[in-house]
Structure 1
Amino acid sequence: MLGISAALLSSANAGGLRFSFPCFATRGARRTMMPPSSSSLNLSSPHAFASSANDPTNPKKPWLLVGLGNPGKMYQGTRHNVGFEMLDAIAEAEGISVSKLRFRAMFGEGCIGNAPVMLAKPQTFMNASGESVGSLVSYFNIPLNQVLLMYDDLDLPFAKLRLLPKGGHGGHNGMRSVINHFKGSRDFPRLRIGIGRPPGKMDPANFVLRPFNKQEREEIDFTFQRGIEAIRILVLEGINKSATFVNSVQSSELLNN
């Protein structure tokens, strides 16, 4: 089962796996005014989506944000590692250090606005990602609807995003491994990052390990900025608003092309 006992959590805290989440302690002190409506929010602000629905006396479970990729220098900057890069972009934007090793993942904890989050980059190599993700979810008792997987997608146009509340693995071996370790459950959100199709008759396995050229790098970096905004909306206002944001941004781009 995906769960954790009180004794196990106590043992984890005693062993140094203690998570304080500063947003719980400082939330009331930092937010003395009512937040503006969504239509007037500045998406570039890390704290733009503070929700009055968050009750300091009843703190929420943290979100687990997971970027999929392969560890090691030889895989840095490749298409298959955009999940890692998306997570790094979130960590940098929110000032969260992802430097601890927890359950075979580079791991960090912090807050996005007043929402607690855990960030993870499995170090098991892509095809065994579920070994790390499954352990994290089980150990910290994270509800599956608060586990976001971010990964590359060959079937999406390059630099496009798609946020879905659930779905299959779509042939992605990292996602296949995660679903297997979730006992077959597919009911968790995912942010798919388009890397496009390989040119000509190139083997997809080779294509995903290719680095980006200069123009592609500029485009994908811009996509990461949109992804950061989408994640802020997700953890503070929910998946429906976040998915609407992602889809509406890209729909307007298609109309302008």
Structure 2
Amino acid sequence: MLHAISVPKPCILYPRSRCFGQRNRGSTRLSVRASLPETNDGFEVEYTPWLVVGLGNPGNKYHGTRHNVGFEMIDQISRAEGIALNTIQSKALVGIGAIGEVPIVLAKPQAYMNFSGESVGPLAAYYQVPLRHILLIYDEMSLPNGILRLQPKGGHGHHNGVKSVMGHLDGSREFPRLCIGIGNPPGTMDMKAFLLQKFSPVERNQIDEALEEGVEAVRSVVLRGFNHQITRFNLGQKYKFHKV
């Protein structure tokens, strides 16, 4: 049996999730048609839309820098899933499509890193995306370069972009995130200089591999949620460079 699904939807459809304001409701809609209630491996597919946001700074000046790997991950997903980033909405470059049969909105905020929440909050409200389906992707200095980590929630870890997003989601930390390790500054190097530095050739290869792995991780969490496969993914990432 085919089920037509579209968003925005009333908040009553998400009884266990927080939804955001009813403003800015217009004619733009996401729609998919689903013919199967579950995937081939037995996981039920939830058709609530996802908002996947990568953090970074706009402009060629910042292209390829450590602080912009969130943008790179969105570009990688865009290419892999054939979702064109061709719309400006809520100060963000946006693409609308699907992963499998699950509606998805990709976004790259264009108001600079420290003001990322100015895009995420309004987009979540407009498309009526619950907190549990807002996936934030950003750089993480506490992880070695090229290591990924998926979490269902967390703090801001002194990351100004994440802090801004939390501020525009009523201070909540209850949303998923995909962290991309960029390592720590060497020696006494200034942190800001490190974040705006480009990767060495070796580091670049590690990041490129991580971006490919990240697409599969995003597909898994969108289609299946946080389950034992994500736990295994995180464990594998932890020891990726320490295999015996």
Q: Which runs of 5+ in 1 are unaligned?
A: 39-50
Residues 168-200 of structure 1 show CA distances to partners (whole Å, capped at 9, x for unaligned) of 100000001011111111000011110000111
1:177 partnered with 2:187: no
Residue in structure 2 matched with residue 48 of structure 1 by the alignment: none
1:151 partnered with 2:155: no
Residue in structure 2 matched with residue 248 of structure 1 by the alignment: 235
Residue in structure 2 matched with residue 222 of structure 1 by the alignment: 209
Return the letter of the residue paired with 1:173: N
Deviation at 1:239, TM superposition (A): 1.7
- TM-score normalized by structure 2? 0.86
Mapped partners of 2:169, 2:229: distance in 1: 24
In 2 relative to 1, CA 215–8 (structure 1 residues): closer, same or farther, beyond 3 Å? closer
Q: Secondary structure at the match of 1:232?
A: helix
- Between 247-256 and 199-208, the greater mean CA deviation after superposition: 247-256
Mapped partners of 1:121, 1:8: distance in 2: 19
Mapped partners of 2:142, 2:230: distance in 1: 18
Alpha carbons 2:121, 2:168 under 8 Å: kept: yes
Q: Which runs of 5+ in 2 are unaligned?
A: 1-17
Mapped partners of 2:193, 2:239: distance in 1: 33
Mapped partners of 1:83, 1:92: distance in 2: 15
Residues 36-63 of structure 1 show CA distances to partners (whole Å, capped at 9, x for unaligned) of 438xxxxxxxxxxxx5x34xxxx73210
Runs of 4+ with deviation above 4 angstroms:
none
Q: Match for 1:3 among 20, 29, 42?
A: 20
Alpha carbons 1:234, 1:242 under 8 Å: kept: no
Mapped partners of 2:104, 2:191: distance in 1: 33
In 2 relative to 1, CA 35–98 (structure 1 residues): closer, same or farther, beyond 3 Å? same
Return the letter of the residue paired with 1:154: M
Alpha carbons 1:66, 1:150 under 8 Å: kept: yes
Mapped partners of 2:186, 2:238: distance in 1: 25
- Between 243-252 and 203-212, the greater mean CA deviation after superposition: 243-252
Return the letter of the residue paired with 1:89: Q
Q: Match for 2:74 among 83, 87, 109?
A: 87
Return the letter of the residue paired with 2:41: S
Mapped partners of 2:187, 2:158: distance in 1: 20
Deviation at 1:212, TM superposition (A): 1.1
Mapped partners of 1:216, 1:4: distance in 2: 42
Count of matched residue positions in the alignment of Structure 1 and Structure 2: 227
State the superposition RMSD in angstroms: 2.1
Q: Match for 1:126 among 113, 125, 128?
A: 113
Deviation at 1:254, TM superposition (A): 4.9
Q: Between the two proteins, what is the percent identity of the paired residues?
A: 46
Q: Match for 2:30 among 16, 20, 24?
A: 20
1:231 partnered with 2:218: yes
Deviation at 1:2, TM superposition (A): 4.8
